[in-house]
Structure 1
Amino acid sequence: MAIISVSGLTKTYASGHQALKTVDLDIRKGEIFALLGPNGAGKTTLISIICGIVNPSTGSVTADGHDVVKDYRAARTKIGLVPQELHTDAFETVWATTNFSRGLFGKAPNPAYVEKILRDLSLWDKKDSKIMALSGGMKRRVMIAKALSHEPTILFLDEPTAGVDVELRRDMWEMVRKLRESGVTIILTTHYIEEAEEMADRIGVISKGEIILVEDKDVLMRKLGKKQLTLQLQSPLEAIPARLSEYPLELAADGHELVYTFDAQAEETGIAGLLRRLSEEGVDFKDLHTSQSSLEDIFVSLVRAPQ
């Protein structure tokens, strides 16, 4: 069931730059969706249109059943946005700025709910601190608290862990999972590909203003991932035996390593056949190990591919 539906969306700025080219995208209710793309791919424009910050040139977007242009107020109350840049009043306290954000959406005061948010984000002991006195990581947590203050069902996280240390990043990942468990749909953009690999249910890749792929993360890793078997040879080879030409093998320059690359989704029985053939050819090895391509490898191959 789609909670966000994007149909025929385009955006051309007054300068003539076409940021989006006919984007169609459905984001499912209750999922963590990672939107990946290089700088200038159109990620921020797409998010800004869905959040009602930028008007589309053509096409339509609905958020939880509300058109983001025709029914802006209802759509916007469903959405929380944590922007990449840290924008908040440096002289306000954590408590005051979170309550103020709630009021902007016409929500009645609810101190118990605000307290829960601050506690969940490990900000409760900082509630009376001025924003200017907080570390960068704590300021980012405050931005998340502000985005959650009006109880949205959709949360956009634009580079949420930029400039955040490793420990705090792990804490934030855990917080995002808890939000998803509570029923909030999370849309994440990140330059940390391992972040998407760790958390996302589905992956969308945008390049040059077009969505070039949307896939379940696990399916994507199986379909586009590669595995490698590296064999450390007992004795160096001068060349790969001709009878092994059917296997995609590479020989290291010093002749001491053979590397076999195969599709991650393919049956690995090919390894057994290869090892048997090596034995028949009198090629002995002393060690072996396998490795699998990461989501980062897949992402780089996708955005570099001619479109």
Structure 2
Amino acid sequence: MKCICISEFMDADAVQALKPGFDLRYEPGWVDRREALLDAVGEAHALVVRNRTQVDAALLARAPALRVVGRLGVGLDNIDVEACRARGIRVIPAAGANARSVAEYVVTTAAMLWRGAYLSSAAVAQGEWPRPRLSEGREAAGKTLGLIGFGDIGRLTATLAQAFGMRVVAHDPMLAADDAVWARTGVTPLSLDVLLAESDAVSLHVPLVPATRHLIDARRLAAMRPGAVLINSARGGVVDEAALAQALREGHLAGAALDVFEREPLPAGSVLAGVPNLVLTPHIGGVTREANTRVSMYIAEHVRQALEALS
């Protein structure tokens, strides 16, 4: 009987869907107990992970029977894809299953940062009345949202932003300027420099690879429109965190939201601590009840199919 190990949390119904016909070992705490995980994968034919389990050379060396890695999400920077390919291990991301959750996170966060009215609860409860200052918030309608990366999530984000009345522009070097997707979506393709200069909000939708590490650095932050906002729900490391902290402290940017970080969990006392107009969330842009159900069932179905095809 083939063995499946799951090292991070997965929707209960999806876990149950994987049980029939397999030796299923579900230990979501393995992600924080590396040695226990390395011991467990010795018999695994499939491993299901989220974004924190490192499927690296050390793990692969301890998993001689491994044939399938299911990723509960879409980013693959925690998985040595080339090493898996060399071993004939199939890597299965949950393509598109959490796109709606990320898109909603981006659009609502952009609107929240522009409005600037939702971080005053403590002050109002204490008797303060910051109405003059908070009356300077801005509407989403008519603003320009710039998307860096225009894959499935970026395209759905564009659709939701357009429903708010936003103009959407995007930069994606993988798409030609005459690609049919631009006309179909009503999104304008721009160079990265022009996008930064024209956008009221910039949202990142790129993987973390050598070419995108610190893509948004001090120079590019300075090139953004004064008073713009930045949202990163893609991958930590795409934004230079120290440079962003400085841009916010200097008031060049009106605000920013980070859902991903160079180190996760974000360590206490990081360069982002106490930075004004900065919203920090713990890598949950693509994690909602609905998205977790979709992602988990997608991976359960595809991992089952992949293992059964090996029989």
**Same fold flag (TM > 0.5):** no
Higher normalized strand content (fraction of residues): 1
Q: TM-score, normalised by structure 2?
A: 0.28
Query: So what's the TM-score if we normalise by structure 1?
Result: 0.28
